[in-house]
Each structure stands twice: as structure tokens, then as C-alpha cells.
Structure 1
Amino acid sequence: MSEKFMPVLVGVGQVTEKEVTLEGSSVLDLIEQAVYQATDDAGISRKQLADLDTLAIVRSFRESTRNTPESIANRIGASRARQWLMPNGGNGPQYLVNRFSEAIANGECQFALFAGAEAMATSRKIVKATGEQPAWSEPASGDPEYLVSEAEMTTQHEQQYGILTPSWVYAMHENALRHQLGRSVDDHQRALGRLFSKFTDVAAQSPHAWYPISRSAEEIAYPSDSNRMVSWPYTKYMNAMNQINQSAALLLTSVDYARKLGISEDKFVYLHGCSDTKEKMVYARPTYHQSDAMRVMAERVFEGNLSIDDMKYIDFYSCFPVAVEFACQAFGVSTDDPRALTITGGLPFHGGAGNNYVMNSIAAMVDQVRADRGSYGLVTANGGYFSKHAAGVYSTNPVEGEWRRTHPSKYQGEIDNLPDAPFTESPEGEASVETYTVVYGRDNAPGQGFVIGRLGEADDPNATRFLSVAAADPDELKAMTEADMVGAKGSVTQVEGVNTFKLA
């Protein structure tokens, strides 16, 4: 294949600003710093950013200015580049690498920059001190152009019943998985602690981790003064940490253009396979103990003769334990795999920079495979509520032959064509618990329960599914956290217009 059409990553940058002050860096400042780290890493002049033809920014949770891509382009002297903003979703950074690698292979792009940041730690400090949002806005000629349309990942009906806050939704998938595995509540809790304890060990060695602290399985698994229960079975230490100041940036080009820029081949990292998938809406998914979209993503990411066994390094998206567990299912690896399953420490411990965490994990993977030349690394990404997925395989080994990918449109139908679960918004009658969670207050007391159930047996795929709240009975809520309630019998009815489930 002509080097003109062979995509390659040539520069990466990461910033973690741990000192939180009122004068700390803004989102734009952090992005600019990461971009210049990436140019320094590539060994090129910052003036060469004027030659960018593509600039894509991953949206922050709370955009601090009207048009972030335009502001960054103006700051770095890349105003001639086509400018894009990515919508919400943690899959975004890997999606960008996948999409624009294909664009380079097709001769549609020559030199691209991807970047993103969160400055929520500094923003929060400013709000607490002044009562006002940070004054980080910059003038803009207009609104940003989205690379991908901002699609809703949840319905109004779902939002009424807990399908809104990520920690609640992932907890419901976690409880379904625990039941499927046949584990007791305590055995599963200990397993979650062991899984994320290994992540903390990696974070403790990372220069970019927000919490570089090793923690025991017990510390993570069970509530304490510093580790409150958030949504059953998740403690605080099992949740992605977005109150951070972090950024990352990547430079992608062709081998031919990299040579013209004078970039050393020692910097070249190739994408050896990639995939992108989308999951059904939460209410329609066939089951909650696995992700069909992740399964298809895993089946499609490897090109040539590569497989998961060839991956020396892995970074599974880890917003919550179940995200890692589902990835293990999809790729056929154990949660006890000696490869650690993260190279950063993961979102709870490295810090989950909003939608941009995977920009950090890709940057870390590039550093890792450069240091261990000839090795392969796998990065996965997840957006929404297991809603959107992406994966990529990285190595310093050149891609043999033509660079190619199977376009997602060729396999997305494998997910879309699965039958939706039968569903009603107005359930009434005898029912069973399909999955559930209990949300806790900051006083560590159960406050609200949510139940996804079936009008019939919980494991009957033909039984009609519904969403509901649990009856607000403190004893019942407590009982839901002490034993496996999946399959438990009860009844559902509308109470003041709200679907309400009560145990028998």
C-alpha cells in the first residue's frame, strides 16, 4: 500500500493538573497544553499545526465556551483545519481514530488532531468559592459543527425510572450479571473489590493518575466513611471519577506525510484493527447480563491473524466494574487475567475525564507499545449506558498490505436485528424482578429503589418487560441489598401515575 494512504499515530500528549486552585487551567488551557505536548512528542514545530486539515474536539461534560473547536484552532494557529465537535459518549476518542484512519486510507484526510479535556475539579472549586460558573468563555463566530449527530441515549419514560444516572443503570446490569453467574451477594461484592484493587495497583504507578493509591479489595468492596454506598452494589470507589483536571491529545497522519514532517519512525504507532457498534435502548435489550454490542465489537476488531491472545496490553473501559466484566465476556478473558486489564488505572482511579478518558488511554497505549516495540495493545471505549462502543488495536509493527477496516454498517445489523424485549409503559399485575438497584443518600441509607421487571417469569423472554420504582418501604429496600432479588415475585401497579413494584 502507498505510504500516502497508511494511517499512523505520531504524537500524543497528556496533562493531569492535580493542584486545584481558583486560578487553575480552564478546559481550553488544558487542551492547548496537551496539544503542545503532542507536537513535542512528535518532534515537530508548533507552527506545523497550521497544516492540519482536521481538528476534532471531544465535548466536555459542560462546555465552557460557545465553540471549543474554533477556540482551540485559533489558539494553536490551525484555523484552516475543518473543525468538529464530538457529541457526548466515552466512545468518542476511539471512534475518531477509527473514522479518520479510514479517511486517510481513502485519501480524504492528511493530518488530524484530536483532543479533549475536563476541568471539573477547578470548576467546582470556583463555584464553591464564588457561587458563579467559571468565566472561561471565548468569542466565537458561531456554534460548533458536530461530527456525529447528538442522538438521545435514553427515553423520557426510561428517565422516570432511573435510566438516566449512569451509576444506577450500570448497577442494574451488575445485579443481572451477578444472578447469571450464580454468586451470592457477598461473594460478588468481594469479586468486584478484587477486580478494582488490581486497577488501583496500576494507578499507583501512573504519573497521570488522579488517585495514585493502591487499595485493598476490602476497602473497595465495602462502605466506609470515605467510601459511601452509591447505588447497590456500587460503592464510591467503584464509580468513574470525573471531578478531575485532565486532558489528552493525539496527532494522526499518513506515513508519507509523517516523513515529510520529519517525524522519526520511532514515533509511529499503527492501528491494526478497529470496530464501532451501537446497542439497543436500555428498555429494549434482550438481556441485562451481557452486551450484544460489545460482543460484536470484540468479534470485529481484529484483522488478519491477530486475536485477544496476541494483546500484551489491554485497557478495558472501566466506568464501573460491569463494564470490565462485560468486556471480559465479549473477548473471552478472565477478570483474573494477568494482563491487568488496564494500563492507566481506569476511570475511578486514573480519573475519567468525562467523554475524553479514552484519549488518555490511547495516549498511554501509544507510549506503552513504543516502549515495548513489536507488542500489541487493545483499547476499548464505551459511551452512555453501554450505548456506543469502539475498540482499536495498536502496535509499532507496520500494517502489512493495505490498511482496511470493515465499515460498521456491515455488521451493525447483527445487533439491530435482535428482537426487542416485549415492553409496556403501563404494567399491572403479578410480576417478577428482572434486575434492580437501590440508590443511597449521602447518609449511607437506602433512599430509592428501581426495578426492571417482567409480567410473568423474570427469565421468560416472551414476558412483557416494564420499568418501575420500588415501593418506598425502608425494610424492603434494605432487603433488596441483602439477598439476590432477581426472580423475586411481587406485583406492579400505578401509584399516582408512577409504576410501583412491591415484593410479595
Structure 2
Amino acid sequence: NDNLPIIVGVGQVVKQWNGLELNEAPNPVDIIKEAIEVALCDASDVGLKEEIDYAAIIRTFPDSLPMPYNPFGKIINLPAAVLQGLKIKPKNVLYTSAGGEQPQFQVSSISEKLYNSEIEFAIIAGGEVNGALKRAVKLGAKLDWASNEDFSITDNGPKTDFITEYELKNGLGLPPQTYASMEDGLRARLKMSVADYAEYTSKILSNLSEVASKNEYAQFPKYLPSSFLSIPSRSNYRLYNNYLKWSMAQDAVNQSAAIIITTVRKAKKLSIPQEKWVYLHGYSNIEDTFVTHRPDISKSDAISLVINKALKTSKLNPTDIEYKEIYSCFPIVLILASEVLGVDPTQECLTVTGGLPFFGGPGNNYSSHGIAALVESLRKDRGAFGLVLANGGFMSKESSGIYSTKAPDDWSVIDNKDDQRFVDNRPSVNLLNEDCKAEIEGFCLKYDRDIPQSGYVIAKNDKGRILAKIKTNNHKMLKFLSGDLDVVGKTAKFSYEAGYNYIVDLNL
């Protein structure tokens, strides 16, 4: 089928800027341009810029914030600045919404457009220079990143509506503080103590770091043993009850990646070598509801559904997948994906990059690197299959894709309506604002200098679920929850005061 979508070019860039030479500081426009140039060169020695009729630029982290942060000047239109700088003139340009699922989602969406002959030649690209930004701000350096380049694009806006007012008022917020309670619920479901879970996740993370240590595009290419990762130290200090510094995505990176996608017909016409071709087989995209609305905070129906749908539509079993690139912002995503695949995450290689803590977490664009690295692995191991799981928000949006140099026997646009309907039609959870008693499902503590400063608890009873803060002056509760005793499954007493829920006592 000449309409089959194929990836024909990939490019990655990393900059290890030390902050000394200001003229060498990476900037957000140039680093994305460089990745596109690398991807185009990877696809062919012949000029391909004029062939591009569709471009999807992954939204940068600064443009994903409610109030964009631009200490070195505003970039009026990032996609325009990137594409005009390269003299690329697509008919359609998309600036995506925020979310780590976006790279895989865009591959799937663009593949559908290619298959339906709506477009012929597309690029996906993104990048972050948060490392340079943080270093320059700390040094008091003055950089100029401003750009007035502009033309008409489709801007999807951030769409970062991953959290409700109820959740914000009562404790959820930034990714680590939100994931921490789900991680705690998972720990309890796995029947592990706090110490055992720390050791378990550290083995998983150490395996990621080993891959990163051998990756030329990694921002932090250093192997870290599980003995280091499991124990708090000056260089691996505690930030949350389940997370030390190196347990989570690191955003101080200067990285970019680009992907070139076209059809078999167009690749033949342009004489792009067949050894470059990598096919998308099955794929899936699902949106989950808000964290407090989910039936079980220790599980993700969305992760299960997208992995299983990708396997089913590829006509594959989990054992057929040789390469796995699982999103790794926090250990829970790796573990839940492993449950679906039926593998032991401490023994299985779950990344081809090194993961977000060690390869680096370039905002919404990380999985572009994952796809690029997977493409390179599959080109060397011809006929093997690789799986990408990309995660957005608080496991709010999931996208999966299965790839191979082997062409699919048949290909069609995949319908996720039944899976999405299953998620949307789950029984609703009644959220409580009242004095009550409830059984703890998970909790979060935020630390500063090894001392818990704030936190919240999620709990359930026969009437519904309650999310409740820990008062910052309730030092006894903060200290108790930071101890070794497992409180998940224990009954707690809650009070409703002036519009907020608080935990006031524990019945042990």
C-alpha cells in the first residue's frame, strides 16, 4: 500500500552549556532548527525542505504556563521563528497543546492524514533550553531570545486543564505532589513497605541510568546504582515522601528532537532509501478523567487501554515487543505499563533513551527523543518491534505506538471510541466536603531540608472520596506521616473548615 505512513528521518540535539560563553548559550529557536536539519539530513542527502506541507511544533514549557515566563525576551510565534529561519513553508502549521503524550499523538494523527492523502510530507519537532535558562538566570547573564517572526498558524493553546478547583484547593498541584499520592497508593497495592518500595523503584531507575550513560544525546549520562538512588543524600535529597531528586524527570536540559514522516509513495518518489523506513503499526490515544474522579488512584485504565489497543491492532503479543520506550516522569508510569505487559520492571529494559530522570526531561517533547531513538534501534535490528508509551498530565492523556521496519500486513485508521467510552462511562466518584471519617488511599508530603513542610491525604468511605490538606502547623501529623508506619488502609478523621478539607486525626 503506497499510502502507508513511514518515518524516514529523525534528529536529536543536546547542548552541555557550562554558562561561561554567552555566545554559545543554546536558545529555543536555534536548537529546534538544528534538530530539523539533522532529521532532514538523516532522511536524504537531497534537499527536502520544499516537500514539507505540514509541520507540528511541540509546545515549549514556557508557552505551556498560565503566565508565560520569558526572562530573555518574548518569542511571538515559535513555529514561525523556527520554520522561517529554515526557509520551510508548509501549507499547514500546528503549535500543539501541552502534554508529554503530544509527540506520539502527533505521529498517529499525521499518519492518519498521510494515509487519507490529506498531506504528503510532515515534520514533528520540539525542544527545550530550560537548563540554559536556569543557569543564565542564576548567573545574572543577559541573553536575547526575542523573536518577532510571525505568520498564520493553528495554535491549540496549552490546554493544561488536568486538575479541578477542588483538587487545587485541597492539595494537588505540581506534578510531583500530585503523582506522590498515586505512587503511595500503588506501593500499598503492591503490599510493599516504604523502604521496600524505595529499593524496588531504585532498581528500576538504575536500569534507566545505565541506558542514559551510553546515550550520546543524554543530558545526564551517568550510571547511578540503586544503592545511591534509594537513600537520601546531599546530591539525592528528598523532595516528596516517595521521591528523591533523581526519582523524577529532570527539566534542566538543552535538548531537541525532530521526526520526518511521509508515505511509501512519496518516499519512493524522493528516492529516500528503504533502509531508513520505519512503519507505524498499531497505536491508540485515550484521555482519562481527573485524579480524584478515578476509581482507583493506584491504577490507570488509560495506560492499560492504549497499550492493549496498540498490541491488538498490530496483531502482536507483549512478548513480540523487543524494544520498549515507556514514559518515565515518575516510577508509577513504568510500573503500571509493566503490569500491562506482564514484565518485571526491575529486570526489563523499559527505555531506549535512558528515561526522563537521566536522559533528561525536555518538557512536552521528550517522547520525540524516544521515538527517534527507537527508530535508530529498529533500523539496526530489522524486523523487530518497538513500543512507545507517551504520558501527559497526571496520567491524564496517554498515547501509544508500535513501530517496525517490517511493513504491516494491513493498516487502517484506528477507532478509539469504545475505549474512550469505557473511561468516560465509569461510575462517578462523589467528592466530599464535610466532617467525616474515611480510609486512606494515599498521601503526599512535601519536604524542605529533609523536613516535611506540607501535604495532603486522599481517602474513601461509603459516601465517596475526600481530598484533604495537612495544616502546616500540624507538626505532629506531618512528623507521624513521615515515619515508617504504613497508613494506607487506616481510618482518618477529617474536618471541613471555611471551604477546605483537613485531616485532623488518625485511628490506628
> Which TM bucket (shorter chain)?
over 0.9
* Alpha-carbon separation, structure 1, partners of 2:248 and 2:499: 32
Report how far residue 143 of structure 1 moved: 7.1
* 1:438 aligned residue: 445
SS in 1 for 2:162: coil
Pick from 370, 380, 404: which aligns with 2:379? 370
SS in 1 for 2:359: helix
Moved more, 481-490 or 443-452: 481-490
* Alpha-carbon separation, structure 2, partners of 1:241 and 1:261: 39
Pick from 116, 119, 135: which aligns with 2:144? 135
C-alpha distance 304-126 of structure 1, shift in aligned 2 (>3 A) = closer
SS in 1 for 2:154: coil
- The aligned amino acid for 1:37 is V
Deviations 1:307-327 (A, max 9, x none): 211111101100010110111
Does structure 1 retain, via aligned residues, the 8 Å contact 2:180–2:444? yes
**Residue 48 (structure 2) pairs with residue 51 (structure 1):** no
* 2:414 aligned residue: 406
* 2:496 aligned residue: 494
What TM-score comes out, normalization by structure 1 length?
0.94
* 1:60 aligned residue: 60
* 1:459 aligned residue: none
* Alpha-carbon separation, structure 1, partners of 2:106 and 2:157: 10
Report how far residue 144 of structure 1 moved: 4.5
SS in 1 for 2:268: helix
* 2:108 aligned residue: 98
What TM-score comes out, normalization by structure 2 length?
0.93
Report how far residue 150 of structure 1 moved: 2.0
C-alpha distance 281-484 of structure 1, shift in aligned 2 (>3 A) = same
Q: Which runs of 4+ in 1 moved over 3 A?
A: 140-144
**Residue 338 (structure 2) pairs with residue 328 (structure 1):** yes
C-alpha distance 143-154 of structure 1, shift in aligned 2 (>3 A) = farther
Task: Summarize the alignment of residues 18-33 of structure 1 with structure 2, pairs less than 5 Å apart.
Answer: 18-21=16-19, 22-23=22-23, 24-33=25-34
Report how far residue 142 of structure 1 moved: 5.7
- The aligned amino acid for 1:287 is D
Task: Summarize the alignment of residues 309-458 of structure 1 with structure 2, pairs less than 5 Å apart.
Answer: 309-338=319-348, 340-401=349-410, 403-424=411-432, 426-441=433-448, 443-454=449-460, 456=461
C-alpha distance 378-232 of structure 1, shift in aligned 2 (>3 A) = same
Deviations 1:26-82 (A, max 9, x none): 11111000000001111243x421221100100110035121111122111222331
* Alpha-carbon separation, structure 2, partners of 1:269 and 1:58: 21
Moved more, 327-336 or 272-281: 327-336
Report how far residue 182 of structure 1 moved: 1.0
* Alpha-carbon separation, structure 2, partners of 1:261 and 1:475: 69
C-alpha distance 105-31 of structure 1, shift in aligned 2 (>3 A) = same
* 1:267 aligned residue: 276
- The aligned amino acid for 1:498 is Y
What is the root-mean-square deviation in Å for CA atoms of aligned residues?
1.7
* 1:227 aligned residue: 236
* 2:248 aligned residue: 239
Deviations 1:399-427 (A, max 9, x none): 223x2132223421111111122212x22
* Alpha-carbon separation, structure 2, partners of 1:479 and 1:314: 39
* Alpha-carbon separation, structure 1, partners of 2:136 and 2:471: 39
Does structure 2 retain, via aligned residues, the 8 Å contact 1:274–1:405? no
* Alpha-carbon separation, structure 2, partners of 1:475 and 1:217: 32
Deviations 1:451-480 (A, max 9, x none): 1122x3xxxxx4311111124333322221
Report how far residue 102 of structure 1 moved: 1.0
Percent pairwise identity = 31
* Alpha-carbon separation, structure 2, partners of 1:151 and 1:108: 29
* Alpha-carbon separation, structure 2, partners of 1:131 and 1:50: 38
* Alpha-carbon separation, structure 1, partners of 2:144 and 2:166: 36
SS in 2 for 1:301: helix
* 2:84 aligned residue: 74
Does structure 1 retain, via aligned residues, the 8 Å contact 2:167–2:173? yes
* Alpha-carbon separation, structure 2, partners of 1:205 and 1:353: 18
Task: Summarize the alignment of residues 151-300 of structure 1 with structure 2, pairs less than 5 Å apart.
Answer: 152-300=161-309
C-alpha distance 262-143 of structure 1, shift in aligned 2 (>3 A) = closer
Does structure 2 retain, via aligned residues, the 8 Å contact 1:488–1:503? no
Deviations 1:60-114 (A, max 9, x none): 1003512111112211122233111111100000001011111111111110000
SS in 2 for 1:293: helix
**Residue 494 (structure 2) pairs with residue 484 (structure 1):** no
C-alpha distance 188-149 of structure 1, shift in aligned 2 (>3 A) = closer
Task: Summarize the alignment of residues 108-127 of structure 1 with structure 2, pairs less than 5 Å apart.
Answer: 108-127=118-137
Deviations 1:101-136 (A, max 9, x none): 11111111110000000000111122223376x431
SS in 2 for 1:400: coil
* Alpha-carbon separation, structure 1, partners of 2:180 and 2:344: 20
* Alpha-carbon separation, structure 2, partners of 1:151 and 1:202: 31
* Alpha-carbon separation, structure 2, partners of 1:250 and 1:98: 12
Report how far residue 162 of structure 1 moved: 2.9
- The aligned amino acid for 1:437 is C
* Alpha-carbon separation, structure 2, partners of 1:444 and 1:297: 38
* Alpha-carbon separation, structure 1, partners of 2:306 and 2:178: 21
SS in 2 for 1:412: helix
* 2:40 aligned residue: 39
* 2:68 aligned residue: none
* Alpha-carbon separation, structure 1, partners of 2:26 and 2:58: 17
Report how far residue 438 of structure 1 moved: 0.5
Deviations 1:192-237 (A, max 9, x none): 1111111111111111111111111121112100011111111111
SS in 1 for 2:429: coil
Report how far residue 148 of structure 1 moved: 7.5
* Alpha-carbon separation, structure 1, partners of 2:156 and 2:277: 26
Structure 1 runs not aligned, ≥5 long: 457-461
